[in-house]
Amino acid sequence: MTATERGLKTRAAAFTVGYLRLLALLNLAAVVSVPFRAEVHEHNGGAYFTPYLATAGLGSAALALWLAVLMRRRKRAAWVFNLLVAGPLFLLFAAALTHDPYRAHVFNWISTLLTGLFVAALILGRPAFTAVGDRSNPRLALAAGAGGLLVSGAVGTLLVGATNRITGATPADLIAYALLRGVSVGPLADRLDAVDAPRWVDITINLLVAVSFLLVLYVCFRAPRGRALLGEDDERRLRELLDRHGERDSLGYFALRRDKAAVFSPSGKAAVTYRVVGGVTLASGDPIGDPEAWPGAIEAWLAEARRHAWTPAVMGASEEAGVIYGRHGLDALELGDEAVVDVTAFSLDGRPMRVVRQAHNRVRRAGYTVRIRRHRDIPGAEMTDLVAKADAWRDGATERGFSMALGRLGDPADGECVMLECHDAEGKPRALLSFVPWGAHGLSLDLMRRDREAENGLTEFLVVELLRRAGEIGVRRVSLNFAMFRAVFERGSRLGAGPALRAWHAVLTFFSRWWQIESLYRANAKYRPGWEPRFLLFEKSGDIPRIGLAAARAEGFLTVPRLPGPVRRTPKAAPGPDDLRLVR
């Protein structure tokens, strides 16, 4: 295919999107403009403005706008749907032009011409629509359609029966009236002399059917859920890559979460791990493996996204990875900074460390002690007890974490992880920290839990003990946490900060009352770490709200209600916040 042919097909596909957007706009105009709506229905029967279903104008506008979104995402099922509907409509319009009453109005000629151009653009742009849907969509769509029709019909029949102004109507009359009102609020159902319902009932039934129809279409065209999670072979290959290149990224080990999927470069020397949430393929951290093979893995991941019409996004990428992703069309937005402590340079001496030093000394004098072990050195019974205590100490019922959490404390496969256990003067467990490996000589914080009734300052005590005794386990650097918008808090209150920076600082400070964004930064800054910037990567700025919702769902800060059904057991996701909200 030549460049000219590809450009023509791309423009044809773009025309279909523009046509549907115009359709939505005109439907809205028809709804809000009574004279315009009357003119349309008088001369065209409303066919052009409701080309898929003779239902409420708002429903038609929503349908056209939604189909435009699906066509922009190059959904093959949306292409088939549009062709199956618009093709017969064009033939119907063309045949109608042979009759004098229809042919006499210019508007009908314009309607037929635009519909014909739409059909031609669909046929010409066919190669551009390659995104596949979920295989279960047709079955679920049938179930949604049957359920929607049953609920709408039942509710509509009850409303008609309760408000009918004419006595003597049979159940069959009520059901027939409700079904006809589901199709149209026009004169179609007025032929039933035994029923006379209020106008609001007609509109309510019509809207119920319209919503049911849109729900069926949503189920038909929804993106695949990405059910292919991390298998044993994928995990083995990822561990091999981490053994060779794990020191590059502190978040690398979190690629082993088993609710992620992995796509490898053609050479197998690099991989991108991701999870699909709400139609967003959400990767985290840098690609795993040899940086020279990163482009191949990124291309494979983006090809998978295009094939399924997923929105690509990366959370917490480093600057090096952001540059590589940028060459593949992704833009970057700085999210914040990761706190990394160089163990060899850490010291409690000096005035800047006074608060941490005092907290550490107070807890130590109270008789608290810390035990540091690799997970593989903890007997099974003890690990079971630690897992139970971590669950009991969790703040809230919801497990949180995705991009910077492993989500499976005590798994035998994670023997290289490091556990810090804090006991009080009586030997009772009071807190724990768990770290995952970061190459051969680094650790990255995974889990932080504490007993709420214990001494304040346990967090500082545990972290300091790890940094002071890191040499016992061969550790040289520790990644503590991620502080969102750190630069804003650090520079926003300084002398000389501009008005925009001060305003942004005020907004974040306000929301920190609930989300403790600033507290997280202050808690990290206590240890005088180095700061490594982390970025959100995205393809289009308009996708950021959708990506934000997907990220909130993945991290456990936003839960979506689900219908009752079989319980699916999944590995425990990451930690909840502790007393300082230090959450990975």
Q: Are 311 and 279 in contact, with CB atoms under 8 Å apart?
A: yes
37 — phi, psi (to 5°)?
-65, -40
Taking the C-alpha atoms of residue 184 and residue 544, their distance in angstroms, rounded to an integer, is 38
DSSP β-ladder status, 530-538 and 369-374: unpaired
Taking the C-alpha atoms of residue 87 and residue 582, their distance in angstroms, rounded to an integer, is 58
Count of CB atoms within 10 A of residue 18's CB? 14
pLDDT in tens, the chain (584 residues): 566 767 777 788 888 888 888 888 877 776 666 554 554 455 444 433 333 333 456 667 777 888 888 888 788 778 888 888 888 888 887 887 777 777 667 777 887 888 888 888 888 888 888 777 666 777 887 888 888 888 988 998 898 888 888 877 788 888 888 877 777 665 555 666 778 888 788 878 878 887 887 788 777 766 666 556 788 899 999 999 999 999 999 999 999 998 899 999 999 999 999 998 888 999 989 999 999 999 999 999 999 888 888 899 999 999 999 999 999 999 999 888 899 999 989 999 888 888 889 889 999 999 999 999 999 999 999 999 999 999 888 876 556 667 788 888 889 999 999 999 999 999 899 999 999 999 989 999 999 898 888 888 888 899 999 999 998 899 999 998 787 777 777 767 665 677 777 776 787 777 666 666 777 777 778 888 999 999 999 998 888 999 989 888 888 776 665 544 333 333 333 333 333 333 34
3-class DSSP state of 394: coil
CA-closest candidate to residue 462, choices 449, 476, 477, 474: 449
3-class DSSP state of 418: strand
CA-closest candidate to residue 448, choices 461, 459, 457, 456: 459
